[in-house]
Amino acid sequence: MIPMVSEISLDNILSTIKTKQKMKKLLIVLLCLSCLCAHAQTDREILLDISKQVNKLNEQMAVNSAKLEATNAKIEALEKNVDKRLDGVDKRLDFMQTLMIIIIPLVLTSVVGIVGFVLWDRQTAIKPVEEETKKEIEKLKEREQKLEDAIKKIIQIEPRFSGVI
């Protein structure tokens, strides 16, 4: 209702202004409350979404944890298998080392024995040949002496052969 010009007074104007200010304040409060309620509604939805996502992540972590445990079990089994193989290799290497410790001295002893035998055999084989050679040389010297003696006798009988010697 619009007041008449006659009814307009300072008090009326002030009360109207105060009423309008109160209405503005009330309107602002209502707007703020509606915004808060709307934000509260969206906050709840956001929290519910976050809660759902956290639950999904927890489920995925549980699945991944189970897969990780299975993988760890496989790795442990492989480690045990590798350890067994390495133990076998260590045993073979120890055996080979022991075998080499035995074989190398045997081979060296054999080589020294063969060299010693060869040297001994040469000496024993050379001595009889030397003796036979000395005997043959003595026989040849005797023959040569006999031939010289024979030629000297022939030269005494026949002087024309004196140029032969």
- Is the pTM higher than 0.75? no
List Cβ neighbours of 155 (8 Å cut-off, separation of 6 or more).
161, 162, 164, 165
Q: How is residue 99 written in tokens?
A: 């075998």
Contact 3, 12 (CB under 8 A): yes
Task: State the number of CA atoms in the 13 A half-sphere of 116 facing the CB.
Answer: 6
**Band of pLDDT at residue 12, cut at 50, 70 and 90:** low
User: What is the residue type of 148?
Assistant: E
Q: Helix and strand tally (H, E) in the chain?
A: 1, 0
Domain residue extents for the chain: 13-163
**pLDDT tens, residue by residue, 48-69:** 888 888 888 888 888 888 888 8
**Band of pLDDT at residue 9, cut at 50, 70 and 90:** low
Backbone angles phi, psi at 65, to 5 degrees: -65, -40
